[in-house]
Chain A
């Protein structure tokens, strides 16, 4: 696929981009080049508006109440100052000291309990990786796979980040030279599709990026946390 030269090519490329039919690498490439191409941005805006009427046929569905709770937490606490609620209340690896630290933060408890109750109703989750800073025993995040194909990246002790930054998650399969972006990782955690994680041995990395994540699909900031992942082929 070559550039944005001819009007019809541009129209089709922008249309494909908005529809989502471009493969991942072309999608990323187009996005990188958008900054310098206002005509392309305008074309994309046209398609976003024109195609949006197709969405009208989808009946609304109330999102879970816990979703607003999550959004509120993300809005008010861009970098959490205290340990976040772990997913389960019966984790054997949690030390007594850790639990004392959590019970001291009653506000977060109140917000976190709704989150925990929601998570307790979900399919069985198996921890597959812990993301931590070298030298720190306490993981910042734990990665769990679920029987329904969802992977949850749950915060345990994510710590502070500056308010003009985001954390971003990456996977680096064994032998690969470039990490693959998995998306911005809010302090409240996120979910992934299991197909987004590499089979076999890999590393998961969390880097510090500008707000919104690394603009070019390549890490620009320091690695905050990492962990080994090994999924059966």
Chain B
């Protein structure tokens, strides 16, 4: 997608550039909001997570303590997604999860189905890149854990598999990805 380099925008935000901050928000907030919705389900909670993520970005310029983006680690988009997920997971782990989820997203109908509609588990996109080397069930568990912010217990319920199997699958995936990275 054409547009300003996100890493450059982050750098400008770190220097207190408010216009760059707005451009960063315009460019990145839809991705981050969508990710937050997927994790938190409730639009207001998702909005809070996005708010907190952008406040962290803004505070980089004012504070030594705020964790900064390091280009050596990889793309800026991934760093932002990680910030967002950390906020969302914190919320989920503090509050537990509402027992409302149906795979077709029906529980959040009052907010507008089109916003929270998600692909049923069956339509998993084919893994690519490093993920292609993983066995399908391990990839599936990993992907669900990542996108839905599930605990191993919730993952086991969702996949209708024993807890031990699910844990082993995700761990196999993690080990496989790391091995791929070293190769």
On A, residues with C-beta under 8 Å from B are 8, 11-12, 15-16, 18-24, 27, 45-55, 57-64, 67-68, 70-71, 74-75, 122-123, 148-150, 152, 163-164, 180-184, 186, 190-196, 210-212
Q: How far is the CA of A19 from the CA of B29 in the complex (A)?
A: 21
Cβ of B106 within 8 Å of any chain A Cβ, yes or no, is no
A8 contacts B175, CB within 8 Å?
yes
Add 7 more A-B contacts to A164-B62, A193-B40, A193-B98 (CB < 8 A): A49-B74, A52-B78, A61-B33, A163-B62, A182-B94, A193-B95, A196-B96
The reply to whether the CB of B14 lies closer than 8 angstroms to some CB of chain A is no
Question: Residues of A contacting B33 with CB < 8 Å?
Answer: 60-63, 67
Which residues of B lie under 8 Å from residue A70 when comparing CB positions? 47, 51
For the complex, give the distance between the alpha carbons of A61 and B58 in Å: 22
Q: A152 to chain B: which residues have CB within 8 Å?
A: 44
Q: Encode B66-98 as 1/0 by CB contact (under 8 A) with A.
A: 100010011101110110010001111111111
Report the separation of the CA atoms of residues A150 and B98 in the bound assembly, to the nearest whole angstrom.
10
Distance, CA A81 to CA B21, complexed state (A): 24
Q: Say whether, besides A23-B151, A58-B35, A182-B94, A212 and B170 are in contact (CB < 8 Å).
A: no
Nearest opposing residue in chain B for A215, CB measure: B65
Q: Are B55 and A191 within 8 A (Cβ)?
A: no
How far in angstroms is the closest Cβ of chain A from B89? Answer: 4
* A56 to B45 Cα, complex, angstroms: 21
Which B residues have a C-beta under 8 Å from some C-beta of A? 18, 21-22, 25, 29-31, 33-35, 37-38, 40, 42-48, 50-52, 54-56, 58-59, 62-63, 65-66, 70, 73-75, 77-79, 81-82, 85, 89-98, 100, 110, 115, 125, 129-131, 142-143, 145-147, 149-152, 155, 170-171, 174-175, 177-178, 181
Assuming the A-B contacts A61-B30, A148-B42, are A55 and B98 also in contact, with contact meaning beta carbons closer than 8 angstroms in the complex? no
Q: Are B30 and A184 in contact (CB under 8 A)?
A: no
A59 to B116 alpha-carbon distance, docked (Å):
10
CA–CA, A183 and B78, complex, Å:
23
Residue of A nearest to B21 (CB): A75
Cβ A19 vs Cβ B30 within 8 A: no
Q: Is the CB of A54 within 8 A of B146?
A: yes
CB-defined contacts of A50 to chain B, threshold 8 Å:
130, 177, 181
Task: Please name all residues of chain B whose beta carbon is closer than 8 Å to the beta carbon of A52 when the two chains form the complex.
Answer: 74-75, 77-78, 81-82
**Can you name the residue of chain A whose Cβ is closest to the Cβ of B124?**
A57
CB pair A48 B47 closer than 8 Å: no
